[in-house]
Amino acid sequence: MTTLWDRPNFDDHEAIHFVTDAASGLKAIIAMHSTHLGPAAGGTRFWHYADDDDAVTDVLRLSRGMSYKNAMAGLPLGGGKAVILADENRTKTPEMLAAFGRAVDRLGGNYVTAEDVGMSVENMIAIAGTTDYVAGLPVEGEGDVGGDPGPHTAKGVFLGLKAAVKRKLERDDLSGVHVAIQGAGSVASHLARHLADEGARLSIADVAEDRVAALAKETGAAIVDPADILFLDADVVSPCALGAILSEETIAKLNTGIIAGAANNQLARPEDGQRLAARDILYAPDYVINAGGIINVSTEYLDDGGYELVRQRIAAIPGRLDQIWEESASSGRDPAAVADAMAKRLIGRA
Ligand code: NAD
């Protein structure tokens, strides 16, 4: 019999809580991967899993990812994640959310939740009715700590992309540098504005035609077919839409020297990091470059320094990428593998 401890995605998680509330029908799993640096923080996903086993795999994998991401963002937080196992009709009731909040509350602040796939801001407000351990609730006003993470994520990606251009192209400015952006959503739009302001030449693609048209008009970007965007002859390709877009097949067709974008889980498989390195393509590990949003949300929750600290933590992203690329160059290991190793050192699991 395979036990939880033998599973391939089990990584010495500190605690895994299986939660049920018969009255509301709640079934959830809260995984705390590491509290070495602080409370285990990470969002709650509401999802219908064909098999309960898939939910366990998801929560184990995602909570470890949060440990790495929070550590590399320089936050005093560990990593955790929760999944609520939805039924086929994705029934979600106020009673269920209240019961989930109570389960989070019982962990006494050792797990801090936030919004993730399948949850809305309203759902998070409902959960905050039964626990204080919720980050990322709405706040008033532009520039405030908290609120929409998109602009903060975009700022970090912009700074990281500039660091990559400096390293690879030995250029301090972006004037005329061709950046191909996959996606024209929240992060991509803010990123495109930063890049356009610095004179970059932009190509963008999105399956949502109205969105891409509006962004192209605003930034002067060329509109490209979504099927072609990753393979353009461009100085930088910036994936800001989907995960798992860098695979054996797509990497062979890339025509760029730099991959620097916001999308989560860009590598289809760990060995795709080596495939990029073998083609001499500089890769900015996704969870390092896209940490601006989590930095903003967490700084609000921790209430440890206000907007200035958010700005400083985001400004540290390019330096961390440089450290990764430097270690990659000296060790021969690809940047994604180096980032994982650094994160493990930070959480005391070298
Ligand atoms: P979003 O939903 O606002 O935008 C995503 C865009 O991608 C949408 O406009 C969608 O139409 C487009 N898209 C979907 N399939 C596409 C395809 N095949 N080709 C081209 N475009 C396609 O999401 P977002 O908040 O901007 O996030 C973008 C990515 O960055 C996601 O992978 C997300 O997980 C990641 N990310 C976002 C944040 C954040 O703060 N929002 C933080 C970290 C990571």
- Does any domain span residue 16? yes
**Protein residue whose Cα sits closest to atom 32 of ligand 1:** 263
Same domain, 180 and 244: yes
pLDDT at residue number 136: 87
Same domain, 207 and 342: yes
pLDDT at residue number 154: 98
The catalytic residue among 27, 69, 81, 162 is 81
- Does any domain span residue 191? yes
- Does any domain span residue 33? yes
Same domain, 200 and 333: yes
Same domain, 113 and 223: no
pTM listed for this prediction: 0.94
Q: List own/partner pairs for 103-108 with CB under 8 A and 24 or more apart.
A: 103/17, 103/19, 103/21, 103/26, 103/28, 103/30, 104/30, 104/130, 104/131, 104/133, 104/134, 105/130, 105/131, 105/132, 105/133, 107/17, 107/30, 107/32, 107/133
Which pLDDT tens digit goes with each residue over 154-206? Answer: 999 999 999 999 999 999 999 999 999 999 999 999 999 999 999 999 999 99
**Protein residue whose Cα sits closest to atom 14 of ligand 1:** 241
**Protein residue whose Cα sits closest to atom 1 of ligand 1:** 185
CB of 293 closer than 6 angstroms to any ligand 1 atom: yes
pLDDT at residue number 130: 98
Give the Cβ contact number of residue 214 at 10 Å.
Answer: 13
pLDDT band of residue 229 (cuts 50, 70, 90) is: very high
- Does any domain span residue 99? yes
Q: How many domains does the chain have?
A: 2
pLDDT band of residue 146 (cuts 50, 70, 90) is: low
CB of 103 closer than 6 angstroms to any ligand 1 atom: no
pLDDT at residue number 2: 78
- Does any domain span residue 27? yes
pLDDT band of residue 141 (cuts 50, 70, 90) is: low
Active site residue 253: no
Complete DSSP assignment for 15-42: EEEEEEETTTTEEEEEEEEE-SSSSEE-
Average pLDDT of every residue of the chain: 95
Same domain, 337 and 235: yes
CB of 205 closer than 6 angstroms to any ligand 1 atom: yes
Which pLDDT tens digit goes with each residue over 91-104? Answer: 999 999 999 999 99
> Among 153, 229, 295, 296, which is best to mutate for testing ligand 1, by the most ligand atoms less than 8 A from CB?
153
**Cα radius of gyration rounded to whole Å, the chain:** 20
CB of 117 closer than 6 angstroms to any ligand 1 atom: no
Same domain, 201 and 107: no
pLDDT at residue number 140: 67
| Backbone dihedral angles phi then psi of residue 280, each to the nearest 5 degrees | 60, 35
Same domain, 110 and 173: no
CA of 184 to the centre of ligand 1 (A): 8
Same domain, 243 and 332: yes
- Does any domain span residue 138? no
- Does any domain span residue 335? yes
Tell me the sheet residues that pair with 20: 27
Query: In terms of residue numbers, what domain contains 62?
Result: 4-67+77-127
The answer to whether residue 147 scores a pLDDT higher than 70 is no
Same domain, 199 and 158: yes
Same domain, 336 and 197: yes
Q: Count Cβ neighbours within 10 Å for each residue of 56-83 and write b for 16 or more, e otherwise.
A: bbbbbbbbbbbbbbbbbbbbebbbbbbb
pLDDT at residue number 300: 87
The answer to whether residue 82 scores a pLDDT higher than 90 is yes
Say which CATH number the domain at 329 has: 3.40.50.720
CB neighbour list of residue 160: distance below 8 Å, 6 or more residues apart: 260, 284, 288, 289, 317, 318, 321
> Among 69, 207, 231, which is best to mutate for testing ligand 1, by the most ligand atoms less than 8 A from CB?
207
Q: Are 332 and 289 in contact (CB under 8 A)?
A: no
CB of 121 closer than 6 angstroms to any ligand 1 atom: no
Same domain, 199 and 104: no
Say which CATH number the domain at 26 has: 3.40.50.10860
Give the Cβ contact number of residue 302 at 10 Å.
Answer: 18
Same domain, 81 and 198: no
Tell me the sheet residues that pair with 259: 237, 283
- Does any domain span residue 144? no
CB of 66 closer than 6 angstroms to any ligand 1 atom: no
Which pLDDT tens digit goes with each residue over 19-77? Answer: 999 999 999 999 999 999 999 999 999 999 999 999 999 999 999 999 999 999 999 99
